Amino acid sequence: MKRSGPALSVQNLSKRFGDRVAFEDVTFEIDYGEAFGFLGPNGAGKTTTVRALSTLISPTSGSATVAGIPLAPENGERIRQSISVMPESPGLYLRLTVAENLECFAGLYGLSDARQSVDRVLRAVNLAERDNEPCGKLSKGLRQRVSLARALLNEDADVIFLDEPTSGLDPAAAREVHDLIDGLRQRGVTIFLTTHRLEEAERLCDRVALLNTTLRAVGKPDELRERLFAKTLTVRTLAPIPDPDWVFGGLPAVDGWRQDGTGTYMLTVSDPAVAAPHVTRALVASGADVLSIAESRHSLEDVYLELIGEDTEAVPQ
Amino acid sequence: MSATTTRVRAIYRKELREYRRDRSIIATMAAIPLGIVVFPLLLVIALPASAANSLQGDPLVILLGIPALVPSIVAGYAVVGERVQGTLEPLLTTAIRREELLLAKALAALVPSLAIAYAMYAGFVICTKLFAQPAVASVVLHWPYVIAQVLFTPLIIMWSIWVGIAISTRSSDVRVAQQLGALAGLPVLLVAYLISFNVIHMTLGLALGIAVVLLVLDGLGWRFVAAAFDRERLITNTK
């Protein structure tokens, strides 16, 4: 079904608990089918934002629409019917089996054929064979998968909120969850992913927002890199170039250069695709023994550290 | 089936499954009624026929302690239990309304409590008939009292449930919630003992009056607990 308008629209949203600011003046929009990463250190307000958008807590000020429905107490039931939330902690009934946990939530989502829906989501998270196991006997990674399966139960969900879905998981289990989320993304499900794992956001999200109580930036990872960092080419030669100014000076798209160690030169360029061939030809013409010419790529971690700073308790992973 | 019915049924079934597999709940729900029923039953069975008329108090009324105390075990667990095991947040992010959630939890506490209370009554009545002296049995099994208790039992259970759930929504510890819920059942026990020892003389009018008051309290209990059920406070513990 073609849906109009954004899946999530947030305008100047703020939440305070007494004197403590959880998040403030947050504004962004997410389109249907988009995977949106919400990044920030611990205590930045990510989980509180998810709770506000899923009607668990009331914002102090600002407005939002969730799946086209205005965020207001009287719309709580409609909004919650239109979303799914995977909280940071799996929150499973440990005495019940996997299937019993999911059957309960299938009923809460008003699904007519609970058993069929449970089978569907269990297949989606590769747990079909373990439906009769008590959740208390599952590993942490498997519990996260059951939690994800529970979020997938709501067939009416226009937006799925995933709050730190790989928190506390070992790399193998985290990769499994990544693959499942990637599968959702491929199917065009709108995903709101909060995380402080930068590589997770970079891999899974179309756009990201950086939050540290206030929103620091919103955009595609590449856009944020471009916005914050000059583009550079890194040139490595076997021996230092005798007269680098003569080689690099005046080349198209090359704005400047600096030497960074013996035989390594960092060139500030306006367009790497234009600059690189000219730089290569100039180096060859000068007789330099070229080892490599590569575009320097700033990671999302560089963007994060630039915007959030190092005054945070979270260490990017 | 309406959405409300489906949601209430989902929680109700989940609750019963959880209770069935929680040994501490089963043990407590078995121990309390047995503790209440054993002493008056032994007293009635051991009483000689000649002493039937000297029987002080109505042992059957003492059994009202079962509907007053047993539901607090599960009702006290209802909300704080979800909070402690981290299941409240996923539950509250579904479309379920607080009235539906509370009704489902109350029903899940009502059914086992009612079954236990009636089973204990039935056991007491049968044992009295079988093992007590006929003269004692005829004094104890005063049928208007038996019928009154059958009617009072669900009303007392519901009251105990709403008090237990109200305490559970404000508590951060399961045991504390259950103990406070049990304490809240003590006034009912006190009234039962006063009736049993004829300090309060039970008449049909008084019985009906108490029933109406309990019925109103049960209705108000649901409304009050639903109004006091604050998602934000329960999730963030800040308000």
Question: Would you say the ipTM is above 0.95?
Answer: no
CA atoms of B119 and B18, how far apart (whole Å)? 22
Contacts of A54 in chain B (CB under 8 A): 93
SS (H, E, C) B25-52: HHHHHHHHHHHHHHHHHHHHHHCCHHHH
Q: How far is A25 from chain B (nearest CA, A)?
A: 20
The DSSP 8-state label assigned to residue A250 in this structure reads T
Tokens of B5: 């019915």
Q: Which residues of chain B have pLDDT under 50?
A: none
Coil/strand/helix, residue A5? coil
Q: What is the pLDDT of residue B40?
A: 87
Q: Is A144 exposed, middle or buried (0-12, 13-18, 19+ CB in 10 A)?
A: buried
CB contact A96 to B (< 8 Å): yes
Q: Do B231 and A150 touch (CB under 8 A)?
A: no
Q: What is the pLDDT of residue B166?
A: 94
Q: How far is A227 from chain B (nearest CA, A)?
A: 37
Contacts of B87 in chain A (CB under 8 A): 91-93
Contacts of A144 in chain B (CB under 8 A): none
Q: Judge whether A68 and A14 are in contact, CB under 8 Å.
A: no
- Kind plus residue range of the DSSP H or E element containing A8: strand A8-17
- DSSP E strands, A153-261: 159-163, 190-195, 207-212, 214-219, 231-237, 254-259
**What is the model's pTM?**
0.83
- C-alpha R_g of chain A: 24
Q: How do the pLDDT tens digits run along chain A, 317 residues long?
A: 556 789 999 999 999 998 999 999 999 999 999 999 999 888 899 999 999 999 999 999 999 999 999 999 999 999 999 999 999 899 999 999 999 999 999 999 988 888 999 999 998 888 899 999 999 999 988 999 999 999 999 988 899 999 988 887 788 878 888 888 888 888 888 999 998 888 888 888 999 999 999 999 899 988 887 777 778 889 999 999 988 999 998 899 898 899 988 889 999 888 888 999 999 999 999 999 999 999 887 777 787 887 777 545 444 44
For A107, A108, B82, B148, the CA distances from B10, given in Å and listed in that order, are 5, 6, 15, 33
Facing A93 at nearest CB: one of B18, B93, B97: B18
Q: What is the pLDDT of residue A160?
A: 95
CA atoms of A123 and A116, how far apart (whole Å)? 11
Q: Do A85 and B235 touch (CB under 8 A)?
A: no
Q: Do B10 and A108 touch (CB under 8 A)?
A: yes
Q: Do A108 and B95 touch (CB under 8 A)?
A: yes
Domains, chain A, ordered by start: 8-219 (3.40.50.300), 230-297 (3.30.70)
CB contact A107 to B (< 8 Å): yes
* B-proximal residues of A, 13-42, CB under 8 Å: 17-18
Contacts of B24 in chain A (CB under 8 A): none
